[in-house]
């Protein structure tokens, strides 16, 4: 197999045989011999010296110094909706426009997405705002179409264990960067094995997205364990982003979760924003309004800078800013000291 342009030789049993490992290390052309930590292989920290940076377009990569925020509605619902939201997120520092055209819904009676016309609307709105776009393909038969339109291909939580689809994406000739969500009940190792399916097809541009698992908590839709961010970082060379929207399920929790993901070392966010969340056809309760998104981005800026990262900031100072930064993150400000 090859990774990052380097050939990788896998030798079964070498980890248990120090003599064999020493002899392998002395062979001409061998740069490094490392024992693999578990079933995940191509995504493992040990297989790639350094960190993978996923190029999206010139001047934009995920996994470098910039904290990259991808934002937009859960689903593309119409031309005016996606154009309005695209303009709002672009003005507030989003670097990628999200929007589902093919939606994986829990019940067949829910809005399933606009399909191909939705993809076209997303594409046009992205061009209008000069933002690359991300959208999900649910099945193999949608791959050519979705990969042909998007800059980043999304694999959702439900398909994160669909190995046929993952392998097909890895082999897809367009080689689009891929964002994979963590499966709802998957361990971090299983998550990395899913990424290996894409990597082993020859596509090295994989971004991991943590969106929370099923849990017993009642404060949020899913449980996003913040410890998973630094834990995953130790296990893999791939970039990691957080999805605070699906984790929270409630918009008032999203900004604080976003700040926590940034502080825990994530490389970016995937956030849902809707201009009329009450009328959204999908995931309205967890969508930030453009105003909330603007205030969140404004407050994340100094936090990113303090952590040695860059973050695109809102074009104008947001309106309705609270006196205390925490209040703009949806958290009550501490009581003032006399």
Binding mask 82-121 for ligand PEP (x = CB under 6 A): ------------------x---x-----------------
**Residue 192 burial by Cβ neighbours in a 10 Å radius (0-12, 13-18, 19+):** buried
* Residues facing 208 on adjacent strands: 180, 240
With binding defined as CB under 5 A, does residue 281 bind Mn ion?
A: no
Between 105 and 171, whose beta carbon lies closer to Mn ion? 105
Instruction: Give min distance, CB of 287 to ligand PEP, in A.
Output: 10
Between 45 and 181, whose beta carbon lies closer to ligand PEP? 181
- Using the rule CB under 5 A, which residue among 56, 62, 69, 74 binds Mn ion? 74
Among ligand PEP, Mn ion, none, the one that 61 touches (CB under a kind-dependent 5 to 8 A) is none
The full DSSP string for 26-90 is HSTT--------SS--TTBGGGSSS---EEEETTEEESSSB-EEEEE-SB---HHHHHHHHHHHH
Residues with Cβ < 8 Å from 11, sequence gap 6 or more? 20, 24
Binding residue count for Mn ion, defined by CB under 5 A: 2
Q: 3-state DSSP call for residue 134?
A: strand
- Using the rule CB under 6 A, which residue among 45, 95, 176, 246 binds ligand PEP? 246
Q: Single out the residue of 225, 248, 241 nearest to residue 95, CA to CA.
A: 241
Q: 3-state DSSP call for residue 167?
A: helix
Between 100 and 277, whose beta carbon lies closer to ligand PEP? 100
Distance CA 320, CA 282 (A): 27
Q: Single out the residue of 44, 14, 40 nearest to residue 27, CA to CA.
A: 14
With binding defined as CB under 6 A, does residue 251 bind ligand PEP?
A: no
Q: Residue with CB nearest ligand PEP?
A: 156
Residues 38-77 that bind ligand PEP (CB under 6 A): 74
- Using the rule CB under 6 A, which residue among 157, 166, 195, 253 binds ligand PEP? 157
Binding segment toward Mn ion, per CB under 5 A, in 46-54, 110-118, 194-202, 283-291? 283-291
With binding defined as CB under 6 A, does residue 259 bind ligand PEP?
A: no
Strands (E), 88-194: 96-98, 133-136, 152-155, 178-181
With binding defined as CB under 5 A, does residue 157 bind Mn ion?
A: no
Binding residue count for ligand PEP, defined by CB under 6 A: 9
With binding defined as CB under 5 A, does residue 208 bind Mn ion?
A: no
Q: Where are the alpha helices (DSSP H) in 172-253?
A: 188-199, 228-235, 244-248
Residues that bind ligand PEP (CB under 6 A): 74, 100, 104, 156-158, 181, 211, 246
């Amino acid at each position: 197999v090859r990774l990052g342009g380097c050939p990788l030789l896998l030798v079964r049993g070498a980890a248990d045989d120090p003599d064999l490992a020493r002899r392998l290390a002395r062979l001409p052309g061998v740069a490094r011999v490392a024992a693999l930590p578990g079933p995940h292989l191509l995504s493992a920290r040990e297989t790639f010296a350094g960190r993978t940076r996923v190029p999206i377009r010139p001047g934009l990569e995920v996994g470098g110094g910039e904290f990259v925020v991808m934002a937009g509605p859960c689903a593309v619902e119409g031309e005016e909706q996606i154009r309005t939201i695209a303009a709002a997120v672009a003005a507030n520092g989003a670097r990628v426009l999200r929007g589902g055209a093919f939606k994986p819904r829990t019940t067949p009676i829910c809005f399933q997405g606009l399909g191909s016309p939705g993809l076209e609307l997303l594409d046009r709105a992205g061009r209008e705002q000069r933002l690359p776009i991300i959208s999900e393909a649910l099945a193999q038969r949608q791959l050519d179409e979705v990969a042909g339109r998007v800059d980043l291909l999304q694999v959702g939580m439900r398909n994160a264990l669909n190995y046929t689809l993952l392998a097909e994406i890895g082999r897809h000739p367009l080689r689009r960067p891929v964002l994979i969500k963590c499966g709802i009940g998957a361990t971090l190792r299983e998550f990395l094995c899913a990424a290996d399916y894409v990597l082993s097809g020859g596509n090295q541009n994989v971004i991991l997205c943590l969106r929370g698992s099923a849990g017993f908590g009642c404060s949020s839709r899913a449980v996003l364990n913040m410890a998973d961010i630094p834990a995953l970082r130790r296990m893999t060379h791939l970039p990691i982003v957080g999805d605070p929207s699906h984790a929270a399920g409630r918009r008032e929790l999203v900004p604080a979760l976003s700040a926590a993901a940034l502080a825990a070392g994530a490389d970016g966010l995937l956030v849902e924003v809707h201009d009329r969340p009450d009328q959204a056809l999908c995931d309205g309760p967890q969508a930030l309004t453009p105003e909330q998104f603007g205030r969140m981005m404004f407050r994340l800026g100094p936090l990113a800078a303090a952590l040695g990262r860059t973050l695109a900031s809102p074009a104008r100072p947001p309106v309705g800013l609270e006196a205390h930064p925490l209040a703009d993150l949806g958290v009550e400000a501490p009581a003032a000291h006399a």
